[in-house]
């Protein structure tokens, strides 16, 4: 009984983490058709800024609040300087993000001396529910992720800004003709996506510790999630991330680790083959 409770909670909390990471990636991909190969590095930067703040002696939660803004700033700069030139050629944009990711990753690696660093969680300890020990911080992550998701959803559907964003997403030329500045929207979206990535990094760094390759694992999961969930809608990204996250966390409980590792990918590809629009029909993949 405790095992089941434990397992459920663990699976849910990891799925929440994946959702948080993928949200930013999905928004950028859906909006601009650019698969941001540097998104993992946005996560890394969020983790790194949190660590920086902590190493200066300030409380960790302060770093976590600051991280999304720091990473958003970086995202904005990158978007203005590099990404925006290639909206017409997403492939080259992908290349550009790859190069950027490489630079950021190696830069962080040399800054932390290639080491693995631990960051304490702002809310430590665990709750005992039933017979299971639930980590307080992971619970916090689940709660924060849900809040962020809700907030983003409300932003997209209930505000005029959100309306413009969705318009630019569905039909860019019509949006432009209607007087919506797609450039500004794109910049805002990229920045928002980066901020989400930064937040994800900040929240997960106490769980997984800081190291230069932190982002890569999540990047791959992220692309799978987008494929599975469907590009072009907010719900799609969430659904895909949820599915991938749940599978990714649940399979190791049932299968030997070697097999579990591989199955998630095979399952995702097979699924997309037969359901190309993804879970929630967005733009056709």
Partner 1 sequence: MHEEMKDKRTSLMAGRRRFLQGAAWMSGAVATGLGSWIIGPKWANSAAAAIKVGIATDLTGPIAYVGNATANVANMVAKDINGAGGILGRPIQLFIVDTASTESVAVANVRRLIQRDMVDVVLGGITSSMRNAIKDVIVTRGKTLYIYPEQYEGKECTPYLFCTGPTPAQQCDQIIPWLIKNGGKRFALPSANYVWPRVLNKYARELIEKNGGEVIFEEYYPLDQVEYSATVNNIMTNHVEVVFNTIIAPGVGPFFKRLHQAGFGKRRGRLACVYYDENALNLNAPNEIEGLASCLDYYRAVTAQDAGSARIQTEYDKQFPGKILFSGAATGMYRGLKLWEVAVKEAGNLDREYVAAALDHAEISEGPGGSAEMVPGRRHCRMNMYTAVVKNGDFEIVARSTGLVDPREC
Partner 2 sequence: MLEIALLAVFAAAPMMLPDYLTIFVTRVLILALLALSFDLVWGYSGIMSFGQALFFGGAGYGVALLARDLEITSIFIVLPAALAIGLTLSLAIGTFLLLGRSPPATIFVALGTLTGSYVADRLARDWYYLGGQNGIPSIPPMTAGGYVFAEGRVYYYLTLSVLAILYLVCRFVVRSQFGLALAGVREHEARMAFFGYKVQQLKLIVFSLAGAIAGLAGGLYAFHEGFVWPDILGAALSTQIALYALLGGVGTLIGPVIGVIVIEILGFWLADGFPRLWPMILGLLLLLVVLFSPTGLIGLVVSPRERVGRFGRSPLPYRHADEGADDAAA
Alpha-carbon distance 230 to 243, whole Å? 12
Alpha-carbon distance 33 to 12, whole Å? 29
Piece of 37-45, 150-158, 204-212, 267-275 that binds partner 1 (CB under 8 A): 204-212
Residue 281 sits in the site that holds partner 2 (CB under 8 A) = no
Give CA separation, 110 vs 22, 45, 103, 104, in Å: 26, 13, 11, 10
Cα torsion 145, 150, 151, 153: sign: positive
> Of the two residues 262 and 281, which places its CB atom closer to partner 2 in the complex?
262
CB atoms within 10 A of CB 154: 11
Q: Reduced to 3 states, what is the DSSP secondary structure of residue 186?
A: helix
Binding partner 1 (rule: CB under 8 A), the pick from 106, 154, 157, 266 is 106
> Of the two residues 51 and 234, which places its CB atom closer to partner 1 in the complex?
51
Which of partner 2, partner 1, none has residue 276 at its interface (CB below 5 to 8 Å by kind)? partner 2
Token pair of 169, please? 């997403």
Alpha-carbon distance 13 to 19, whole Å? 10
Token pair of 122, please? 């702002």
Which of partner 1, partner 2, none has residue 170 at its interface (CB below 5 to 8 Å by kind)? none
Q: Reduced to 3 states, what is the DSSP secondary structure of residue 134?
A: strand
Look at the block and give the residue holding tokens 């469907």: 230
> Of the two residues 129 and 266, which places its CB atom closer to partner 2 in the complex?
266
CB atoms within 10 A of CB 115: 10
Binding partner 1 (rule: CB under 8 A), the pick from 87, 98, 153, 208 is 208
Alpha-carbon distance 276 to 226, whole Å? 11
Piece of 44-52, 123-131, 199-207, 269-277 that binds partner 2 (CB under 8 A): 269-277
Residue 85 sits in the site that holds partner 1 (CB under 8 A) = no
Query: Least distance in Å: CB of 52 to partner 1?
Result: 14
Residue 88 sits in the site that holds partner 2 (CB under 8 A) = yes
Give CA separation, 64 vs 119, 140, 183, 193, 281, in Å: 11, 13, 29, 16, 34
Q: Residue numbers of the site for partner 1 (CB under 8 A)?
A: 2-3, 6-7, 10, 14, 106, 109-110, 113-118, 120, 126, 133, 135, 207-209, 211-214, 216-217, 248-249, 252-253, 256-258, 261
| Contact set with partner 2 (CB under 8 A) | 35, 82, 85-86, 88-89, 91-92, 95-96, 98-100, 102-103, 106-107, 110, 220, 223-224, 227, 231, 258, 261-262, 265-266, 268-269, 272-273, 276, 284-285
């Amino acid at each position: 009984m405790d095992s089941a409770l434990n397992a459920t909670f663990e699976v849910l909390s990891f799925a929440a983490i994946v959702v948080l990471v993928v949200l930013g990636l999905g928004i950028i991909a859906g909006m601009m058709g650019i698969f941001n190969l540097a998104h993992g590095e946005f996560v890394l930067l969020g983790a790194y800024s949190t660590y920086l703040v902590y190493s200066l002696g300030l409380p960790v939660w302060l770093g976590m609040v600051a991280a999304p803004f720091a990473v958003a700033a970086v995202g904005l700069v990158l978007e203005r300087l590099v990404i925006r030139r290639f909206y017409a050629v997403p492939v080259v944009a992908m290349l550009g993000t790859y190069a950027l990711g490489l630079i950021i990753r190696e830069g962080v690696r040399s800054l932390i001396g290639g080491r693995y660093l631990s960051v304490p969680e702002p809310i430590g300890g665990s709750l005992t529910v039933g017979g299971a020990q639930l980590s307080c911080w992971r619970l916090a992550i689940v709660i924060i992720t849900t809040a962020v998701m809700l907030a983003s959803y409300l932003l997209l559907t209930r505000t005029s800004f959100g309306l413009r964003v969705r318009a630019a997403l569905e039909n860019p030329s019509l949006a432009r003709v209607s007087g919506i500045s797609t450039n500004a929207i794109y910049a805002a979206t990229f920045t928002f996506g980066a901020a989400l990535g930064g937040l994800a990094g900040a929240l997960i760094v106490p769980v997984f510790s800081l190291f230069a390759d932190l982002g890569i694992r999540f990047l791959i999961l992220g692309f799978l999630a987008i494929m599975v969930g469907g590009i072009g809608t907010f719900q799609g990204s969430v659904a895909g991330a949820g599915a991938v996250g749940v599978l990714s966390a649940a399979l190791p409980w049932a299968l030997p680790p070697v097999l579990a590792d591989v199955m998630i990918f095979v399952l995702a590809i097979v699924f997309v083959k037969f359901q190309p629009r993804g879970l929630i029909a967005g733009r056709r993949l």
